[in-house]
Amino acid sequence: MSLPPELEKVVELTRAHNRWRRLECINMIASENVMSPLAEAAYLTDMMHRYAEGKPRRRYYQGNIYTDEVELLVMDLMSRLLKVKYVEPRPVSGTVANAVVFRVLANPGDKALIAPVQAGAHVSHTKFGTLGALGIEHIELPFDLDSWNIDVDKAVRMIEEVRPRLVTLGASVYLFPHPTKEIAAAAHSVEAKVVHDVAHVLGLIAGNRWPNPIHEGADVATTSTHKTFPGPQGGAVFTDDEEMYKQVSRYVFPWFVSNHHLHRLPATAVTAVEMMYFGEQYADQIVRNSKAFAEALAEEGFKVLAEHLGYTQSHTIVVDVRPHGGGAKVAKMLEDANIIVNKNLLPWDPPEAVRDPSGIRLGTQEMTRFGMREDDFRYVARLIRELAINGRDPREVRKKVVEFRKDFLEVKYGFNIPKDLEESPIKIPMLL
């Protein structure tokens, strides 16, 4: 029996997307990654159909004999990987993790200090997103372009004057570690708490290439699990503070999450183990690739930001593309050639420039996981120059991208599906 035409359309669109993004594109969205074959197989299980409100072994639904054990395993693995005491894995996204923590720490009308929006604060940190939805006032910390970071001296004075309930560190444009120790000391002196959003750099922390903010004085960290940490889309909160953990757990359910998408859990567990085995090697290559890519883009004629600081210490690179038509034009031009990036605000852009900002943001984490190394990123820099500077037809460059991508189809730094599981119900082949 053939499929109804409506289903044929769904299947074909899904197949087209999978082929395009997994076989034909160079993906440089800094907030994305891919799971290993084993993690993908563990993701596509019966758990995606089930409910598990509450905490393991204290559920409001029956039928969680195994999901409870998987959730406890995730908590243990992530705790060991990150060298912290408590991990709450039930938030279904990094934004939900932020919402839970913000609500634990502040009430409507309270003040929060955040990194500047144009310098990379995630929208959930701001009055435009989750913080605003909770009625918490956002006040931007001073930012120093010379150090491409929060201005510590001015920030300390602001903390002492404003006396906020919380200070939020971390960003979605996160080139260099924020000064957690100094900010935490100032915040604690006025009885404020420090929330550090490490969604973008969790994999670099797990791979010991970035500092863990909990070890540097932050009270609590929030994260997603699908950027430099190459797991399924989801969120988590971690801390060494038992009372903080208890409060967060009480607020996750029932305030912000009912069912927490249980199929994330085994895939997250697989990824945590992969990071135990391959995390340092993977994180090191991400940073090496970022530096080589940034240098190559600069050599090709682009204005890559933070040159005097070595461009970046993370997976992220930021380029001012105003001379080439602006962020919206360049991002679309690259997409037409199968190079996927995103337009991005730069520190001098007004908030209303969000639809056509000065910059683009590029991330190396996904293509690193597909095996790209320094020279491969140098080649991509040349392709980007052909498009944005030389004005070459994107269709011509797209042919080069598709051919180049053929060498990078296998996920590295992870585990394949064992032979004895290849034909079992745990494996559901991806439509290609």
What's the pLDDT tens digit per position in 40-69? 999 999 999 999 999 999 999 999 999 999
The alpha-helical segments, DSSP class H, found in 56-179 are 65-82, 94-105, 130-133, 152-162
Domain boundary assignment for the chain: 27-35+279-405, 40-273
Hey, what's the torsion of the CAs at 246, 248, 253, 256, to 10 degrees? 170
Q: Is the pLDDT reported for residue 428 higher than 50? A: no
Tokens of 196: 């550090």
DSSP 266: H
Q: What is the pLDDT of residues 366-388, one digit of tens each?
A: 999 999 999 999 999 999 999 99
**CATH C-level class of 27-35+279-405:** alpha beta
Fold designation for 40-273: Aspartate Aminotransferase; domain 2 (3.40.640)
Q: Which amino acid appears at position 19 of this protein?
A: R
Distance of CA 297 to the CA centre of its chain: 23
Mean pLDDT across 211-239 = 98
Q: CA geometry: angle at 392 spanning 389 and 394, to 5°? A: 115
Q: What is the pLDDT of residues 159-208, one digit of tens each?
A: 999 999 999 999 999 999 999 999 999 999 999 999 999 999 999 999 99
